[in-house]
Structure 1
Amino acid sequence: MMIRAGHAVGRLVGVASWWAALALVAGCGEPEAVGTATASFGSGTGSVDDGFETMVGWSGSSGWVTTGPDDPVGPCGDDPTCLPPSEMVPTAKPDGLPSPLPGVYDDQGPAPPDAGFRALLGFPTRQRELLESRVALMYAPGSPLFRSYMTVEQWMAEHAPDPTEVALIENWLRSRGFTIDFEAKNRLLVQFSGTVADFNATFQTELHICMRKNPLWDDPPFPVYCTLDRFTLPKFVAERTNGLATADLPAEKGELTPEVGKVVPDPPGPEAYGPRAFYGAYNMHPLFDAGFTGRGSSVGVVAAGTYHAIDLQIFWKSFGVERALPKRVPVMEPVFERVTETALDVQWATALAPGAEAVVYEGPDARNTSLLFTWNHAIAADEVDVLTFSFAHREDSEPKPLRHQYDESALMGAAIGMTLVSASGDSGKPDTPCSSPYVTCVGGTQLIASQEGVIEKEWAWQMSGSGLAKTFARPYWQDADVTADRRAMADLALSSSTEYPMWMRRWAKWEFFGGTSFAAPAFAGMIAVVNGYRRSLGLPRVGFLNPILYGHQPTRSTFRDILYGFTEHYQAGPGWDYPTGLGAPDVAMLALALP
């Protein structure tokens, strides 16, 4: 999520008095100026800490219990007409469609019966508890399974939904007059489509149209489907799936307009931060100076629509970045528009990892059906080391099945050794999919620094998405830091403030914004650089970060503790806190410390 910056830095007045007022409200004194540590990276022979102790072991699941029978459907195989009447009994099942919520989802009344829809049916991970236990051992230094990641083929053989059962459900959907449009690579999702009338009859509900508040700063609300009542599914469908994860209006169609303009350097000026400020503030220069810019690693971006390639190249040239254009991967229906959030994420992820390969996974729009399927597709493809997601929706505005279907995919990502990064949001409350324990949740700080990243002050940003997850249990790696029984966010934080904003190139001009939409892709780029360094030493990619960040003391100590600032609900302070997690990363030291 991104929001319009309130003021340019050059126009701010009374910063000292504003800070004094903030400190007074927070009950804290003014923080001292902070700096960064120095590290040595010589010819790929930097030292990696090996003085770690075995980390805290697995102590329970995420609290998400998926359904699914132990045995296939007997002699019926994938033929739904063969099932006995007892398997057709209507069964209540939670769905992933939103309900009206004033100011977020505003009900406009029943959807026209002859209108179209597209929806996702979600499937559970097979042997989930076994997989969660295995993943915990993969990220416990000292374990014989440490960093022994699964291949996609292994995951498919041991944990993908049974293909016969997926085929059974697909054939049932066809029997109801629906079309199967897409099946996810890992079989965790199936997209189907049809008419609203058939949808209502099949699921014993009534689709309504709600106007969804746009997460982007100035874009208008857009229509989505919502429901007032729970769904029912036939018993055999309810038992073999996680239920309806999404239902949306059909993807719009159109033609992507040709790009115009020339690629020329056009530096924007000092009113906001560019990538070099992040290079300095988060201590990336020792890695860059030693030749580690992400080469040998890769970063992926989950996108809605696409970006403007000329804007992207001007952004790079203006900040001294030289690199190849990303690989574009179309997912689902054809893309026909360029989206601000996508442009931002691609610009900042690629600029922070100038030597890494980049892949942009492009779904057709920013509705839940597209975003969830594209997220899942990018993970199942296993083409990148790090994947970033910033199309965040506030967790308390999204239904449980949707939140947990994101988590099904994220668990696969952890198992295959992929780092998943998400923006925590800009509402002061946590977002989806950040709440999944298998996602590294990046919150926001307010940074005052030079254009080269020499830090004067950094404190918690008032709008940093943070708090407790609604339904995910506290993961074992937060036991020492969190007293509540649920997953707590954020895990770390980077500059996001609208008062000290960041540049992006948007539709042939420079604009500045704030939001954790900058923090998440920037951190993803940083981890791609770390992975490039590790590859030079013959080490595996870092994969799922959270257990190591929290439980491995040498790694944890590479984060600069953010001691001051607050959100509406939480205050920053010594050690882990809700708005900023473990703090701000020193990337060079992080590269040395990660086991």
Structure 2
Amino acid sequence: MALSRRTMVAILTAGSLSLVSVGVPALAQPTPAFSPLVASVVPGLDRAVRTGSLPGSQSVSVAVSLKLRNQSELDRLLADQAAGRAKYLTPQQFRDRFGPTQADVNRVTDYLRSRGLKVTGVSANRLAVDATGTADQLNAAFNTSLARWHDAGLGRDFTAADSTPKVPTTLSAVVSGVTGLDEHYVPQRRTAEVSGPKVGSGPGGGYTPSELRSAYGLAGLEADGSGQTLALFEYGKFDQANIDTFDHQYNLPTSPPVVKNIDGGNTDGDSAQAEVELDIEVAHAIAPKADLVVYTAPNTTSAEVDMWNALVADNVPVVSSSWGLCEYDRSLASMQAVDAVAKQAAAQGMTFFAPSGDAGAYDCERDANTQHAGDLAVDFPGSNPYVTSVGGTKLTLNTDGTRASETTWNQGGGWAGGGGQSMVFDKPLWQGGDGKRQVPDVSAAASGGEYSVYIQGAWGRNGGTSAASPLWAAYLTLINQRAGVLGKLRIGQLNPKLYALAGAAVNDVTVGDNRFYQAGAGFDMASGWGTPNGITLCDALLG
């Protein structure tokens, strides 16, 4: 079953629990009434072929997402924080005010255990309950059936529920969705295809760290990331020897990243190694003395939720992700689960960056989604209002290394900076409050080949909005360092502050398009507000 654009909304129908008449001996436990978790419907099954039922003994892991409490109060708090009228919360304060109660968690865990599932963990904020069980046990617990599927367009096999998952109606007011039963589409890295002539003086022909810092006026910040923590959200591993080669080439005073494995860490070998190494090296280029933490997990929807929850539990000031999917390829339940945690991140004063995508205004193209390849679409999680979406530009330098010009990134062949209008999230008040959320919020160099990096044993050029995202995250890390020196709070929610400035302190990008949307003065859906502007934006944000 697949949801159309018009029906992509979570509906939990109400019902009543069946009762056994008083005085009549019960021969068996009554069967509870179930309510469908419509938001957990797997997208795109109509384009796949069911190849058979999943063996009943096969083990499957899921994350059951629970609903926030006091959501209207939370929305008011977030608005007050954005306006500087309220302090940031600690993870414990957020849990106690807005997380599910322990009693609600107990109801969910008791039910899962009653169906034979093993509860493997509960997130610190109580928003997710992790469990494992056999396919037969999960089928019974969620009143569905797990099957094997093949998508010829994607060229891959996957597991998914072939009917809408359900929970007992008595839990429908607590449970928002379940992830882990849907592995049709998995997040993709947003790295560009190398194209065009060499642009910088690096060994691979891309820009060096000093050229990038010069282009965006970062010397004026007099900051290097000392005393700050920057986290990278990853689905892969890296080879420290490659990072060392990069750092030594540019005399960067860095230390090895700390690795935090979520749900056992990533087990996909080196398939995503290039992305992780790119992200680390871009972060080192901009904020070389920041403490870098690489969070890595299996590329599954349940592990994604767990990684978000781990980040907010650690209250990391700045986070960068280089992974995403177009909104058509996500179940609404998975986006709702992330949205709840993104609100917690904002309430705690965390800043989260994500790429806008590398297919211009047609984000599903890069996911090989043939049905929606020609549709206007945007990338999630960047489309979430509590995430800063980072688009792409083509950067040109003067001979002295200063910024000469920037245009929106559109290098042909379908490669361009993502941007457009969400079909899921409403436009927040700071963006106008009428219609749907628009992205990107900002941009940075992304054109294929603008970064000189050492990846998987060789020097080369790389780019994409997955390079622009850690660049912005490292830049904000420098601003947070300066905030500390001045005795001020870290930036926290960037978007409301950025939009309040109305483009006054960034490098506006006014030339080019992203295959549909045209750049122009001020905000546009090709480049957002613009690119980093060193001390100017820093002072405006801290003023």
Structure 1-normalised TM-score? Answer: 0.75
1:306 CA displacement: 2.5
Letter matched to residue 115 of structure 1: Q
1:90 CA displacement: 1.2
1:68 CA displacement: 13
Q: Is the 8 A contact 1:446 1:460 kept in 2?
A: yes
User: Which of 548, 555, 563 is the aligned partner of 2:497?
Assistant: 548
User: Which of 435, 439, 442 is the aligned partner of 1:485?
Assistant: 435
- Partners in 2 of 1:472 and 1:64 — Cα distance? 11
The answer as to 2:257 corresponding to 1:323 is no
Q: Is the 8 A contact 2:10 2:332 kept in 1?
A: no
Q: Which residue of 2 aligns with 1:262?
A: none
User: Which of 68, 91, 105 is the aligned partner of 1:125?
Assistant: 68
Q: Which residue of 2 aligns with 1:361?
A: 295
Q: Deviations over 1:75-113 (max 9, x none)?
A: xxxxxxxxx969x2111112435333688x776554333
Change (3 A) 1:210 1:539: farther
SS in 2 for 1:187: coil
Q: Which residue of 1 aligns with 2:193?
A: none
* Correspondences of 1:493-572 after superposition (within 5 Å): 493-498=443-448, 500-553=449-502, 556-572=503-519
User: Which of 349, 369, 375 is the aligned partner of 2:308?
Assistant: 375
Q: Is the 8 A contact 2:220 2:534 kept in 1?
A: no
- Partners in 1 of 2:13 and 2:474 — Cα distance? 37
Q: Is the 8 A contact 1:97 1:245 kept in 2?
A: no
Letter matched to residue 246 of structure 2: F
Q: Which residue of 2 aligns with 1:424?
A: 356
Q: Is the 8 A contact 1:280 1:452 kept in 2?
A: no
Q: Deviations over 1:351-378 (max 9, x none)?
A: 3111211111121x22222222112211
- Partners in 2 of 1:167 and 1:393 — Cα distance? 33
The answer as to 2:235 corresponding to 1:301 is no
1:407 CA displacement: 0.9
4+ aligned runs moved over 6 Å, structure 1? 63-69
Change (3 A) 1:136 1:213: farther
- Partners in 2 of 1:122 and 1:269 — Cα distance? 47
Change (3 A) 1:453 1:111: farther
1:228 CA displacement: 4.0
SS in 1 for 2:75: helix
- Partners in 1 of 2:243 and 2:474 — Cα distance? 16
The answer as to 2:58 corresponding to 1:115 is yes
Q: Is the 8 A contact 1:299 1:525 kept in 2?
A: yes
* Correspondences of 1:40-51 after superposition (within 5 Å): none
Structure 2 gaps of 5+ residues are 1-7, 15-28, 184-200, 364-377, 411-415
The answer as to 2:83 corresponding to 1:140 is yes
Change (3 A) 1:320 1:140: same
Structure 2-normalised TM-score? Answer: 0.82
The answer as to 2:27 corresponding to 1:94 is no
Aligned residues: 480
1:437 CA displacement: 0.6
Q: Which residue of 2 aligns with 1:188?
A: 127
Change (3 A) 1:461 1:108: farther
- Partners in 1 of 2:152 and 2:509 — Cα distance? 32
* Correspondences of 1:74-473 after superposition (within 5 Å): 88-96=32-40, 98-100=42-44, 108-141=51-84, 143=85, 145=86, 148-210=87-149, 223-247=157-181, 269=203, 271-287=205-221, 290=222, 292-336=223-267, 337-338=269-270, 339-340=272-273, 341-363=275-297, 365-382=298-315, 384-428=316-360, 429=363, 430-449=378-397, 453-462=401-410, 463-473=416-426
Range moving further from structure 2, 465-474 or 332-341: 332-341
Q: Which residue of 2 aligns with 1:17?
A: none
1:331 CA displacement: 1.7
Change (3 A) 1:452 1:243: farther
1:547 CA displacement: 0.5
SS in 1 for 2:509: coil
Range moving further from structure 2, 453-462 or 184-193: 453-462
Change (3 A) 1:526 1:210: farther
Letter matched to residue 91 of structure 1: S
- Partners in 2 of 1:213 and 1:354 — Cα distance? 44
Change (3 A) 1:102 1:231: closer
Q: Deviations over 1:178-226 (max 9, x none)?
A: 1112221211112211122222233232323346799xxxxx9654323
Q: Is the 8 A contact 1:303 1:371 kept in 2?
A: no
Q: Is the 8 A contact 1:502 1:514 kept in 2?
A: yes
Q: Is the 8 A contact 1:496 1:514 kept in 2?
A: yes
Q: Which residue of 2 aligns with 1:579?
A: 526
Change (3 A) 1:268 1:552: closer
Q: Is the 8 A contact 2:483 2:490 kept in 1?
A: yes
RCO greater where, 1 or 2, for CA within 8 Å and sep 6 or more?
1
- Partners in 2 of 1:195 and 1:551 — Cα distance? 51
1:422 CA displacement: 0.9
The answer as to 2:535 corresponding to 1:591 is no
Range moving further from structure 2, 323-332 or 516-525: 323-332
- Partners in 2 of 1:150 and 1:302 — Cα distance? 22
Q: Is the 8 A contact 2:225 2:289 kept in 1?
A: yes
Letter matched to residue 351 of structure 1: A
Letter matched to residue 299 of structure 2: A
Q: Give the % identical residues.
A: 26
